[in-house]
Amino acid sequence: MRNTSINFKSQVTIKLADVKLQGALSRLQTRFVEGRSAVIGEIDDLPATRTAAAAIRDRVLNDLEHWLLQFEQQATARGAIVHWAETGEDVNRIVAEIAAQHGVKTAAKSKSMVSEECGLNDALELAGVKVMETDLGEYILQLAHEAPSHIVAPVVHKNKEEISDLFAEKHQLPRKTGIAELCREAREVLRPAFLNADMGISGGNFLVAETGSVLIVTNEGNGRLVTTLPRVHVAITGIEKVVPTLDDVTTLVRLLPRSATGQSITNYVSVLTGNKNTEDHDGPEHFHIILLDNGRSSLVGSEMQEMLRCIRCGACMNHCPVYQNIGGHAYGWVYPGPMGSILTPLLGGLEKSPDLPNASTLCGACAVVCPVKIPLPDLLRKLREKQMERGMKSRQETFMLKAWAWLALHPAIYALTTKIGVRFMSVLGGRDKLLHSLPGASGWTNGRDFPAPAGRTFRELYQQGKRK
Amino acid sequence: MNARDKILGRIRTAQARQTTGAHVETISSHLARHPRGPLPPSPDDLVACFRERAIKLSSDVLEAKDRMEVPALLARYLDESKLPMRGVCWPSLAELPWNAAGLEMQSRPATNQDMVGVTGAFCAIAETGTLMMLSGAETPATTSLLPETHVAVLDPCRIVATMEDAWDLMRKECKQPPRAVNFISGPSRTADIEQTVTLGAHGPYRVLLILAPF
């Protein structure tokens, strides 16, 4: 997927004015935020469980090379073929080669954000393989030629009327209006795709080093179908997804669906190990696992390594006041919200996403809900520091920050300046005590008023209080 | 240098570690111990807990005196739900008195035409009301996946408290994990359209659990 995060600001303006999108986003907020809070308490000791989950991820990330080797060895011993890909293009080439090797004409695909990184579908179509997305949300997006706007609920930006119109047009069937009818129609249209596909393509939520297994969580059952029926299965995931043992992955599975969709467990948790035995009735004859780097290894051992703990639950975006107002498309790449504001610049280049590290109020909600305790606001702040170091900030912002720093280092002048400043602003605020515009800060005051100060500084009031 | 060596080489350099025996040692000892994370408190009554959680996740639950009573219970359920009185079952269930209950049951893996699939289960998990299915020649995965109605016959003795307990049971009874372990918690569902939960996406529309002592 092409990275268009350079256009963040202009996209935000469009998204804020999009009435349909705003309606859709408020629904996401209620369902996912309330959903999580309703079930997260089922975990007996949540703080200890989050700490354990973070430690499980760190155990692997601190020795990633050896855990990857352990996974590869176990997976290979069971008959899977493990491929390594430096970039998204490499993934596309490998999948096309596998398709050619096995005479694959059609592929059924379950949701994979990593494949979105690669732009896999377009590449496979070019290679002559017909790809069918089978996750309902991704299928709708494939029909509409759109990109996902949420990593868990990819089609959150569309309402059911739009989906009704789309199905009526593309399926050439009478227009359905009920959600259950729309789901039934998609099921009936997609069932032959599962039965006829030569290849199934899936992501992988986790890789279990103990057994060489790929673990997938799904609700619709399409993940099970694409990994059971076609004769070839290709699982694509990031190199950071390794987890040591089945017990370790269970701790993460306890947190993932609760954090993501407010479910105690997803309908299906599939642990896939190796290819089909001679006596088995079902399962793929060939099982390929593709491990994608795409910039991830550059975070290992760096001050940003904690980002690799991410288990892609989406809780940070569901709870982010910025995401809640602009949706996912404005972020310009696969991953939106706080985790995307960190990952997109790290994997795609900070210079291509100058606005993303700043697209946060640093309110901290994301860090509070993150099941693996990623200090997201700290990482955003570190990216802002990097921008400052590399001279990527505007001249105005650099000047303001330098002026502030100088002022803060000279207490007497600071006291005098603020004393004058608050009195001046208090007078300007007038009777309603609001400033409608501030010189040099129109970006802030264009959208809201600035509350005028009370007329005296905190230090003055404090001194007065002490005298009483 | 191929992609594998480049990726692993970059990681090695970044972590500035030598390939020494020490790490391999830590890894193998962690794998051997496979310690558990924080667990939920163990329920007093595993069966009651399993029932309650399974119903919460939209499974139907019936209890039979013994396995011989399963066909009659299933026949009544299918009849009341106006579902077809025929289906496919796992070979281990072929000998139950299906015909006597008015059911036509074939012992074979499911195809797209089959409307009812009857399976056993390796075990079940009380914590979340979940079935654990191991794939194999005698336990085809399609039976719980393609038909619109999935019926699982479960021995209440095989209900364990947590997924960790289920893994231990698998380690004890199987040499290695089968090709596919599927944990099933109720009928397939989607909330992709307007975040409204709809049962019956690509898998079964309904899951009936029949608890029957072996």
Task: Transcribe A50-100 into DSSP letters.
Answer: HHHHHHHHHHHHTTHHHHHHHHHHHHHHTT-EEEEESSHHHHHHHHHHHHH
Q: Contact B176/A222, CB-based, under 8 Å?
A: no
Task: State the Cα–Cα distance between residues B174 and B130, nearest whole angstrom.
Answer: 20
Residue B131: band (very low, low, confident or very high) from pLDDT cuts 50, 70, 90 = very high
User: Could you tell me the sign of the dihedral formed by the alpha carbons of B140, B146, B151, B152, in that order?
Assistant: positive
ipTM over 0.90: yes
Higher pLDDT: A143 or B16? It is: A143
Q: Backbone phi, then psi, for B202, in 5-degree steps? A: -100, -15
Q: What is the dotted CATH code of the domain comprising B46-211?
A: 3.40.50.10420
**Which ranges in A88-231 belong to alpha helices (H)?**
88-101, 113-118, 120-126, 136-144, 160-171, 179-196, 222-228
Nearest to A281 by CA among B11, B75, B158, B108: B108
Structure tokens at B114: 């089959």
**Which ranges in A230-375 belong to alpha helices (H)?**
246-261, 315-318, 321-326, 337-348, 365-369
A413: three-class secondary structure by DSSP: helix
The series of mean pLDDT values per 10 residues for chain A, 468 residues long, is: 94 94 88 94 96 98 96 98 98 98 98 97 97 97 96 94 96 95 96 97 98 97 97 98 98 98 97 93 96 97 97 97 96 97 97 96 97 98 95 87 93 93 89 84 81 88 82
Task: State the Cα–Cα distance between residues A129 and A122, nearest whole angstrom.
Answer: 10
Residue B17: band (very low, low, confident or very high) from pLDDT cuts 50, 70, 90 = low
B11 touches chain A (CB under 8 A): yes
| Per-residue model confidence (pLDDT) at position A437 | 85
Which fold does the domain A63-297 belong to in CATH? Answer: Rossmann fold (3.40.50)
Task: State the Cα–Cα distance between residues A379 and A357, nearest whole angstrom.
Answer: 9
Nearest to B163 by CA among B209, B129, B214, B119: B129
* Mean per-residue pLDDT, B187-196: 93
Which residues in chain B have their CB less than 8 angstroms from residue A273's CB? Answer: 176-181
B40 touches chain A (CB under 8 A): yes
Where are the strands (E) in B31-148, listed by range? Answer: 60-63, 86-89, 104-107, 116-119, 123-125, 130-134
Q: Contact B198/A268, CB-based, under 8 Å?
A: no
Q: Mean of the per-residue pLDDT values for chain B?
A: 95
| Per-residue model confidence (pLDDT) at position B91 | 97
| Per-residue model confidence (pLDDT) at position B19 | 54
Q: Contact A44/B40, CB-based, under 8 Å?
A: yes
pTM comes to 0.94
Query: Nearest residue on chain B to A179, judged by CA atoms?
Result: B193
Phi-psi region of A391 (alpha: psi -120 to 50; beta: other; left: phi over 0): left
Contact indicator for A153, A318 with CB cutoff of 8 Å: no
Residue B188: band (very low, low, confident or very high) from pLDDT cuts 50, 70, 90 = very high
Other CB atoms closer than 10 Å to residue A242's CB: what's the count?
25
- Domain ranges within chain A, ordered by starting residue: 63-297, 395-467
Domain with CATH 3.40.50.10420 in chain B: 46-211
Helix (H) or strand (E) holding B14: helix B3-15
Query: Nearest residue on chain B to A94, judged by CA atoms?
Result: B3
Supply the DSSP symbol for B157.
Answer: G
